[in-house]
Structures are given as C-alpha cells and as structure tokens.
Amino acid sequence: MKKLLWVLGLVSILFVSCGEGQKSSKEETKEEGQVEVKSDGLQLSDEKVEEGAVKYLTTAAFKQKVWNYEENPEKWVFKGELPIVIDFYADWCRPCKMVAPIMEELAKKYDGKVNFYKVNTDKERELSSVFQIKSIPSILFVPQHGDPKFSVGAMQKEDYIRAIETEVLGN
C-alpha cells in the first residue's frame, strides 16, 4: 500500500511539473511580431503591425480579406486590394522555419505591392483542408486577377522572387 501511495505521489508531481510549462489558451503569449487576434481574425490589441511585415491570418480573416469559399465554393473570387502571398506553415516544421525569414525579407521588399500572410496549419485546420495542404511549407501565390498558384516545399529566395514577379505581379 505504501508503494502504491509513493508511486501515485511521484506521478502527481510529474504531472504538475510537466504542466507548468504549458500555457492555457487564455495565457498564451503572442509570437514575436504577431498581434493578438480575436476568433473572427480581427486585431485585439492596439499594437500596430509593422508595415512590410508578414501578418498572421485566421480562417475568418481569410474569408474576409482573401476569398470567402463558403459564399463562392466553385469559383475563386479574390477580395484583396493587393496581390498576396500566403505561407502555410507549422511551428514544428524545420523547412517552415527556414522559409519564414525569407518571407519577412520579401514582405519588406514588396511593401505596398504585395501583402504577405502566414497561416498556421495546426491552428487553422479548416483553411488547410480547403486547400488540401498535405505538405508544408506550402506557399499560395495570389495575383490581383486570375487564379492562385501553389508551391510546395522550401525554395531558395531567388525562386520566390521569380514566382512573385511572374505569378503574382505578372512581370
């Protein structure tokens, strides 16, 4: 009986100590450069997103700013004012972490010409499902007019520039 109590005590200490590093959804902190957003994808805090920065996109914000696939399930109807590039990623994905600084750099380079967004595939499962994301990073290049194009896997910066110039800007 004493051994059983001893084991239960150790197990409970283990669970308590392992749980301390986890954050509840209410305590979750923002990633660096990310603004807090409500479930509808709109900004919560007064913090401004830096111009020329990659912005985080929720499913609700995607429907509002890019394409409402529920209203137009059969036809791509782009809602944006500028062409966009969307990086579908996950926090645990090493190639995604290699692509992230490239996207940040390109967001600055194309500031005012192209908007850059990130979609966390672990958090935005519905949106990932709509685009049938099976491999990440997946980059969606959306021109102002015409259909979007996908690129799957990490590429070199020059390849992203070439895709933006030809597929997004039509140069």
Strand ordering across the sheet containing 149-152: 55-56, 115-120, 84-89, 138-142, 149-152
Is the C-alpha dihedral spanning 103, 141, 90, 28 positive or negative?
A: positive
Percent of the chain surpassing pLDDT 70:
71
Beta strands in the chain (DSSP E): 55-56, 84-89, 115-120, 138-142, 149-152
Q: Is 18 a catalytic residue?
A: no
Task: Tell me the pLDDT of the chain averaged across its residues.
Answer: 79
Taking the domains of the chain in order of start, what are their residue ranges? Answer: 55-168
For residues 88 and 165, what is the distance between their CA atoms, to the nearest angstrom?
20
**Marked catalytic residue, from 66, 93, 102, 168:** 93
The CATH topology of domain 55-168 is Glutaredoxin (3.40.30)
**Marked catalytic residue, from 35, 54, 85, 96:** 96
pLDDT in tens, 84-114: 999 999 999 999 999 999 999 999 999 999 9
Greater confidence (108 vs 42) lies with 108
